[in-house]
Chains A and B, each alone.
Chain A
Amino acid sequence: MNSEKPAPVKKICIIVSKGSLDGVYPALIMANGARMEGIEASLFFTFFGLNALNQTTLDDLKVATVGNSALNMAMPMLGLPMTMPFPTVLGALPGVSNFATHLMNKEMEKLDVPPVREFLELISDSGGKIFACKLAMDMFKLKKEDLWDGVDDVLTVGQFYEESAGEGTHILFT
C-alpha cells in the first residue's frame, strides 16, 4: 500500500506530425482536456501536422480512408454494424474521403467538439500554446504569415525541448 499521492501531470507537450482530420483531433482534444484540468498544454505541429495550421488547408482536413484498416469503426455512423469491413480500395474512390469527413464532422458537432479553427482558438484562449516546427516549415516552403494567426511561435526542435522543460512535463508524439 502506497499512501503517497502520485506526482501529478503538470504539463503536456504534444507533437502533432499527422495532418488528416483523424490525425489532428486526438491531439486537440487531449490538449484542451489538459487545460480543463488545470494542466499546462502545448502543441508542436511538425511535418504533415502543419496542415492543421496552414490557413489555406486547416478548414478542410480530411479523414484518411486509404490504408486505414480500422475504418469499420465508422460504420455505426451509417447505422451499420461495426463488424462490417471497409476494404481500403473503396477508400480510394472519389468522394469517399469527403463523405467520411462529413460524417465525422457531423458526429463531432453533436458531441460539441468544435471544427479545427475554432478548436485552436479554444485551446489558445484557455492558455494553451500553439507552435510550428521550423524545419518542417522550411521543408514545405511555409512562412509564419501562411499560418493561423494564433500561432505563438515557430520553434526549432531545441527550442521546443526548452519550452517543455520542467518536472511533471510529459511529451507525446502523435
Chain B
Amino acid sequence: MKKTIAGTEVDVNEEGYLTDMNQWTPEMADAIAGEEGVAPLTDDHRKVLTYLRELQAQHASITIRGVGKSGVVTTKELYALFPGGPLKKASKIAGIPKPVGCI
C-alpha cells in the first residue's frame, strides 16, 4: 500500500514498514520516529539507523545480540534509545523490513 511520509509517497506494508529501503530519506526517519513516539532523533539514534541500513543492504541477519556487540551501541543504550521494542522500532524508522528472528 501507499503512504505519504514527510511529503513523499512510498510503499509500505500493512504494519507501516517500508517495502523498498531505497525510497527512504533521513527526513522520513524523523516523521516515522514521531509516529513511534521516539522523536526527536539524536545523532545516537541516527548512528543505529545507519548501521541497521548497512546490515540490511548486505542482507545480514539483524539480531539484538549482534547490534549490542557491534560497537555502535550497547544493548542498554539501544533499549534506552528505542523504548518498547528496540529492533522493531529502529527498523521501521530506518526504512528496512521488520526483523524476523527470535533473537
Contact = CB atoms under 8 A, between A and B. Distances in A.
Interface in A110-151: 111-114, 118, 121-122, 125-127
A38 B84 contact: yes
A75 B82 CA distance: 40
- Chain A: number of interface residues, binned into ranges: 10 to 19
B30 to A, nearest CB: 21
Contact of B88 (A32, A36, A125): A36
A112 B79 contact: no
Nearest to B68: A122
Interface stretch (B12-20, B46-54, B57-65): B57-65
A88 B83 CA distance: 46
B1 interface: no
Nearest to B77: A125
A125 B65 CA distance: 11
B64 A126 contact: yes
Interface string A8-45: 00000000000000000000010011011110000000
A111 B85 contact: no
Contacts, number: 44
Nearest to A127: B79
Nearest to A121: B75
A112 B84 contact: no
Interface string B74-101: 1110010001111110000000000001
B34 interface: no
A36 B75 contact: no
B93 to A, nearest CB: 15
Contact of B102 (A29, A114, A121): A29
Contacts of A112: 61, 63, 65-66, 101, 103
A125 B103 contact: no
B85 A38 contact: yes
Contacts of B87: 36
Interface string A69-102: 0000000000000000000000000000000000
Contacts of B83: 38
Q: Which of B68, B83, B84, B103 has the most CB of A within 10 A?
A: B103
Contacts of A35: 79
A147 B90 CA distance: 34
Contacts of A32: 64, 103
A36 B74 contact: no
Interface of B: 61, 63-66, 68, 74-76, 79, 83-88, 101-103
8 contacts: A29-B102, A37-B88, A38-B83, A112-B103, A113-B65, A122-B68, A126-B79, A127-B79
